[in-house]
Amino acid sequence: MRLEIDPDGGSGVLRGEPNRSATITYDLKKDWTGPLVHPRQFHPVLMPEYFEFTGQNALVFPRLDTPAKRVALTTAHLDFTQLPSSWALATSFGAGTSTADRCQVATVSAAEIVDALFAAGDFRLRQFSIGRRRAILAARGTWTFSDDDAIGQIQKTVGVVRDFWKDDEFPYFLVTVKPYDRDRGTSDGSESTNAFWMYLSRQDSFTDRLPQLAHESFHAWNPHRMGLRPNGEPIDWFAEGFTDYYAYRLLLQARVLSVASYIVSLNQALRRFTPSSDPYVRGRIVALWLDAKIRLESHDQHSLDDVMFEMVPTRDQPLTQERILSTIAPYIPPDARVALEAAVTNRAALAAPDRVPSVSGCAQRLLVDVPTFDLGFDLAASRAAGKVTGIRADSAAYAAGLRDGQILTGRISVSNNDSQRAALFGIRDDAGEREVQFFPRGQPVQVWQYQIGDCRNGR
């Protein structure tokens, strides 16, 4: 038996006798040093006090390069009996603190094993329910919020998504919460099988991550219960952008988000919409426009919700752009279909709707001049070289003091495509080590924005 790994790692070929079982053993090692900061959580996090990893970054598994291979059922036997007796165990397939919880068996799709979450260590385990379904919070560290506060927010956020779909066929749900090695300013989270993992800076707010929790929860239907997506199919505008639209809209309707916070988030996306190729941004604004268009054409008898609901019963069909557009087509007139297709295929512009769905009588649209996002130098080349590269003399970065050749010392903060948030770079040159901060603003363009008046939540 021989395993051949390609030079970059990550994939290989196992060669052996045909029709014989193969056993692969290996040691999983931490492949980074220094403090736990973004984006190191995407690697296996292996600490003396705990570990957390996913099937994607830690398990050896057959290549799942076709839809059939992804949905094929497999049985995984998970043995954690050698863990320290004081450790708690929390995985996509169960959680507990006793030795009886250390062996788990899961018969699920191959993709669900690969997408699974595995954590153990000095976690506090709290069992609760989302509606009538079991859930677990696995938390470690000290926060500005209590475990009870986090549980209440999870219940409300995940619950509103399940209520929207009128579907709670989830016998188990795990949320893990761990601290980054910094006090504030960084947070991230992601979906796994039956789970959501979250990292926060020690003094950050749990509430700020709720749109992401709603987003990842919504993915259980879009796209996971809408059919298999062919490789390379260009539907991120729908799978990610429409999901982002609903994450914020459902939190608004559940009064988790205020109208003011909702409009602020919409305005941020609208400022980025015209020049952006980001499917999250473009898809969210396309969904906003489409939801309003369907409501207007049907005199509020239909909405984008009807389209989303129709996608689930037809999940036996491949999830393609053609199928999505054909499902939408009966709800809008021909000229709107042309505008929609141009927006999702050619990044054509769309006007913000006059009325914001789910916001009653408070948001007025207007065109305003907003600076484009312009960092003023080549960030990718600078990261690769470890020093500032390609600085332009007419840029805000140059005016703030950045120059070609300055060494990047590791501190970089950039909100991609957002000219309203300051960029910060740690540099070192002949004058010493310091931080340079500036607003990455280029030439202004006209964009739609909403101005808030007398707001009340509505449908």
Q: Mind giving me the DSSP string for 57-97?
A: HH-------SHHHHH-EEEEEEE-TTS-TT-EEEETTEEES
Name the most confidently modeled range: 254-258, 306-310, 363-367. Answer: 306-310
Closest Cα to residue 375, out of 362, 388, 357, 359?
388
Helix, strand or coil, per DSSP, at residue 107 = strand
Reported as a single tens digit per residue, the pLDDT across 274-322 is: 778 899 999 999 999 999 999 999 999 999 999 999 999 999 999 999 9
What is the pairing mode between strands 423-429 and 12-15?
A: unpaired
Query: What average pLDDT does this structure show over 160-171?
Result: 94
Query: What pLDDT, on the 0 to 100 scale, is given for residue 48?
Result: 95
pTM of this prediction? 0.84
**187 vs 210 pLDDT, higher one:** 210
Amino acid letter for position 413: S
